[in-house]
A and B are shown apart, each in its own frame.
Chain A
Amino acid sequence: MKRTSTLLLACFLVALPLVVLLLWTVATQWLYPALVPQQFGGKVLGQMLQEPNFWPAVLNSFVIALATTVVTLLIAMPAAKVLATQHFMSQRLLTFMIYLPFILPAIAIVTSTQMLFIQWHLTGTFTGIILSHTYFTLPYAMQIILESYRKMGQGYALTAKSLGAKPWQILRTITWPLMAPGIATAAGLTFIVSLSQYLPTFFIGGGKIMTLPLILLPYANNGRFGLASAYSVVFLLVTMIGVLLLKQLIGGWHHGLRN
């Protein structure tokens, strides 16, 4: 009984802001002190869909986040493999280095990156944005995948090697399926973090490439709660679709896995 009520309370606390978001999205009039909107309608939704940048922003956000996830995993997986088994660096130094992007102020990184990227002609390009996002997503992915590697240990890969498996066979049949839960978590988190990036997209994209946060934030700042809420709902949907897609792609392979 106590357990159920705690669970219900948790659900309520999570759901409450979401309900407010949804109400704002379908409200045409919601004035103080009413608890629910006085008038409902599709005006806000219509406004959002008519925005010329709406569909490009959704698509850009999705593509950038997905590409960032792929790039992040491509860097984090081999790096974590090496770092999980190395002996030349202390674990504390390693952890410090992984978290470095969090410790350094993002704005300093972004502005200096922008200067470099201008020279390299990467500003205003998808490549530039994806690279700058990757910088901020790597710590999350590294930490999760590193932990997965440590937890898995070297024994499975060594055994597979001894039984005659080639490196790509080990990756495909042993490492990948065993790490799939960890990789899926890392991928999902990377996707979410990339999708929420504002600063690097704003600076490196130079306004040429629109994403959801770039449209959403000004509305929220200007008190246009209806539109901001509508965009937030879209934002949530894109996040969920992306994370589920990644989970399906990565996690779907470990059909035999127990635990």
Chain B
Amino acid sequence: MGLEISDVSLHYGRKQILKHINLQVAAGEILTLFGPSGVGKTTILKLIAGMQPLQSGALDFRGDFSQERTILVLQDFWLFPHMTVFENIAFGLKVRHVNTTQIAQQVQAMITILKLQGLADHFPDQLSGGQQQRVALARAIVLKPKLLLLDEPFASLDSSLRQKMHQLLLELQQQYHFGVILVTHDRDEAFELSDRLAVLIDGEIQQIGTPQTIYEQPQTRQVAAFIGGMNFLAGIIQGQQFQFESQEITVVNPNQLTGPVQLVIPYEVAASLSHSGIQAEIVSLQWQPSGVLAHLRVGQQTLVLTNIQGELHPGEVVYLQFGANLQVVAN
């Protein structure tokens, strides 16, 4: 059960939008397409939904997945302005010629679940942003989709509302067990909601993995730079041994790189004080809600870390051990 996308490419004239995209989504999984704007994330959703013809490659819907049971929710909701909330939610059932009593029942159930009571006769322009978002979700979920395609669904909401909507989406997903492909360029949203994350840059999938893997072991410098909040430590790699600033540590080297490389150390990776590891001098400390932000000096290079366990003092020289396997990427 699920959807397999294999070797999908797309051109607009001479411009290549998508390059050999391979993806799988399983039932009940949330897969996030994460990347800067204009890299073809929305285009992938449109291809899957059948809104745009496939130029090359294949979509393979398996088990009870199908294009008919795949619903695309576009950015900005696009609630039909001439229909009430009730009519909007009922739209998909109506075009399927479901009988009126059943429509009324199912729409009423959606209204209750999405807390839209009392708004059934309102028109979209009388709703708040959060309410509009919930109607858009209700309109899709009432059709019992197997796969929900969400294009930047929470981009227009303020951050506290966004948090609530994330929670609601996870609840709905638990209850109705649909797969989700979510498009976003918001890092926190991607990390919070995804089972797996596909980083899309320049029409190409750079890396697919769990949010933790992507954060701690980005495959390429591009991925690391796009995720942001990363230190890059220049040095030389030989096998697993990374030499930098007359120090040497053991790192992960999945791409079998040799010679000059960059060690990636995320700002928020867990670090602890020890008797061995990377030797660094604490330059300054700054309090933040998420932890103390430490600026450190490693030889000629600098590091920023926010998640160091232990007592820190400016000017002190410490040895740092990291809670994750650090990885090198090509320059």
Inside 8 A of A169's CB, which chain B residues have their CB?
A: 95
Closest to B12 in A: A87
Q: B68 touches which one: A164, A173, A259 (CB < 8 A)?
A: A164
**Residues of B in contact with A, size category:** 20 to 34
Could you tell me the distance in whole angstroms from the C-beta of A155 to the nearest C-beta in chain B? 4
What is the minimal beta-carbon distance from A123 to any residue of chain B, in angstroms?
Answer: 45
Contact partners of A256 in chain B: CB under 8 A: 82-84, 87, 123
Q: Are A163 and B81 in contact (CB under 8 A)?
A: no
Name the interface residues of B154-188: CB closer than 8 Å to any CB of A.
none
| B49 within 8 A of partner (CB) | yes
In the complex, B294 has a CB within 8 A of chain A = no
Of all chain B residues, which has the CB nearest A170?
B95
> Is B123 within 8 A of A164, CB to CB?
no
Mark out the residues of chain B between 49 and 91 whose CB falls within 8 Å of any chain A CB in the assembled complex. 49, 51, 68, 71-74, 76, 78, 80-84, 87, 91
Asked if B125 is at the interface (CB within 8 A of a chain A CB), the reply is yes
B140 neighbours in A (Cβ, 8 Å): 163
Residue of B nearest to A88 (CB): B13
* B96 interface residue (CB < 8 Å to A): yes
Say if the beta carbon of B304 comes within 8 Å of chain A.
no
Q: Is A156 an interface residue (CB 8 A)?
A: yes
A121-161 vs B, CB cutoff 8 Å, 1 = contact: the mask equals: 00000000000000000000000000000000001101111
Are A259 and B49 within 8 A (Cβ)?
Answer: no
Q: Is the CB of B91 within 8 A of A257?
A: no
- Residues of B within 8 Å of A160, CB to CB, are 80, 91, 95
Contacts of B84 in A (CB 8 A): 256
Set of chain A residues within 8 Å of B73, measured between Cβ atoms: 159, 162
Q: A87-B12, A162-B71 are in contact. Are A258 and B92 (CB under 8 A)?
A: no
B196 at interface, CB cutoff 8 A: no
Contact B123 A258 (CB under 8 A): yes
Judge whether B146 is part of the interface by a CB distance below 8 angstroms: no
The interface residues of chain B lying within 8 Å CB-to-CB of A178 are 80-82
Cβ of A156: which chain B residues have Cβ within 8 Å of it?
A: 78, 80
A164 partner, pick from B51, B74, B80, B143, beta carbons under 8 A: B143
CB distance from A82 to the nearest CB of B (A): 15
Q: Is A174 an interface residue (CB 8 A)?
A: yes
**A163 B82 Cβ-Cβ under 8 A:** no
List the B residue with the shortest CB-CB distance to A162.
B72
- Which chain A residues border B95 with CB–CB below 8 Å? 160, 163-166, 169, 173
Instruction: Judge whether A159 and B78 touch: CB under 8 Å.
Output: yes
State in angstroms the CA–CA spacing of A155 and B80 once bound together: 10
Other-chain residue from A155, A162, A177 in contact with B49 (beta carbon distance below 8 A): A162
Q: Beta-carbon contacts of A234-259 to B below 8 Å, as 1s and 0s?
A: 00000000000000000000101111
Are A162 and B87 interface neighbours, CB within 8 A?
no
For A159, the chain B residues whose CB sits under 8 A away are 72-74, 78, 80
Bound Cα distance from A178 to B78, whole angstroms: 12
Complex CA–CA separation, A177 to B87 (angstroms): 14
Kindly state the separation between the CA atoms of A169 and B93 in the bound complex, as whole angstroms: 12
The one of B74, B87, B92, B125 in contact with A155, judged by C-beta atoms closer than 8 angstroms, is: B74
Do residues A258 and B139 form an inter-chain contact, with CB atoms below 8 A?
no
Shortest beta-carbon distance from B47 to chain A in Å: 13
17 contacts between A and B (CB under 8 A): A156-B78, A158-B46, A158-B78, A159-B73, A161-B51, A162-B73, A163-B139, A164-B143, A165-B91, A165-B95, A173-B91, A178-B80, A178-B81, A254-B82, A256-B83, A258-B123, A259-B81
Q: List 16 extra interface pairs beyond A158-B46, A169-B95, A256-B82, CB under 8 A.
A: A156-B78, A159-B78, A159-B80, A160-B80, A162-B49, A162-B73, A163-B95, A163-B140, A164-B96, A165-B95, A178-B80, A256-B87, A257-B82, A258-B82, A258-B123, A258-B125
Q: Which residues of B contact A (CB under 8 A)?
A: 12, 46, 49, 51, 68, 71-74, 76, 78, 80-84, 87, 91-92, 95-96, 123, 125, 139-140, 143
